[in-house]
Amino acid sequence: MRALRAKVREYYSGTLQRHGPTPLGVDWPNVVSQYLRFVQLLKLCRFGQPFSLNDFGCGYGALLEFLAMRHGDTAVTYRGIDISPAMIAAARARWAANKRAVFAEGSQCGALADYSLASGTLNVRLGHPVAEWEAYIEAILTDLDASSRIGFAVNFMLPRDEAPAEAGLYRTAPERWTPFCERFGRVELITGYGLREFTLLVRKTLPVTARPGTGSRKAARRSSR
């Protein structure tokens, strides 16, 4: 898997070098489709109250622009992670003034947050065998779960009708990954948003906590016996 990660790192460093910190620089065709994906992924999050967020495969930090534009009234503590050191350098330069944002180079989230998102990072197979790429995806999904307190969200490209699979891309049906993600929590499938892809929102089952004061009253009753 080390060689696979090295190839992914080289690929995205190359797209940034060719196109700069733009949607093309992170291999998306335009900002409209990029933002449309963000809309789906962020349906996982509860806005109106502060939360923390891992953005895995963050690129140059485009999600921060979208959050400021659409959800500027919510305080989001943001951690961007990318396998490409060039992407992290570009993100740090772009968002140096944002005190709620930090960036880290790596192939795992590396820290616990309320939510974790991954947009597009699972779709560029770069000619690797499908079984090898799917093992890579499983490792990423497992890390997203371990790094998320409330839940995580990812997107995948759907197969094309009666067209051969492209060696450079990974396309799949929801049935391949929905059961895998169900081991982590309740899965919501989102389709039909104008792109040939789907998004999975995974909400973890959180432990039931006692109402404020309940524990102290029980303790007081026990101590009085």
Q: Which CATH superfamily is domain 2-224 in?
A: Vaccinia Virus protein VP39 (3.40.50.150)
Q: Which residue from 177, 105, 88 is spatially nearest to 136, judged by alpha carbons?
A: 177
Residue boundaries of the structural domains of the chain: 2-224
How far is the C-alpha of 168 from the C-alpha of 90, rounded, in Å?
A: 25
pLDDT at 223 over 70: no
Average pLDDT, the chain: 87
pLDDT at 222 over 60: no
pLDDT at 210 over 50: no
Higher pLDDT, 6 or 140: 140
Confidence (pLDDT) at 166: 77
Confidence (pLDDT) at 25: 66
Q: What is the pLDDT of residues 100-121, one digit of tens each?
A: 999 999 999 999 999 999 998 9
Confidence (pLDDT) at 27: 66
CA atoms within 13 A on the CB side of 39: 13
Nearest-10 crossing angle of helices 62-70, 31-41: 70
Q: What is the pLDDT of residues 74-101, one digit of tens each?
A: 999 999 999 999 999 999 999 999 999 9
103 in Cβ contact with 109 (< 8 Å): no
How much is the pTM?
0.85
Q: What is the pLDDT of residues 30-53, one digit of tens each?
A: 788 889 999 999 999 999 999 999
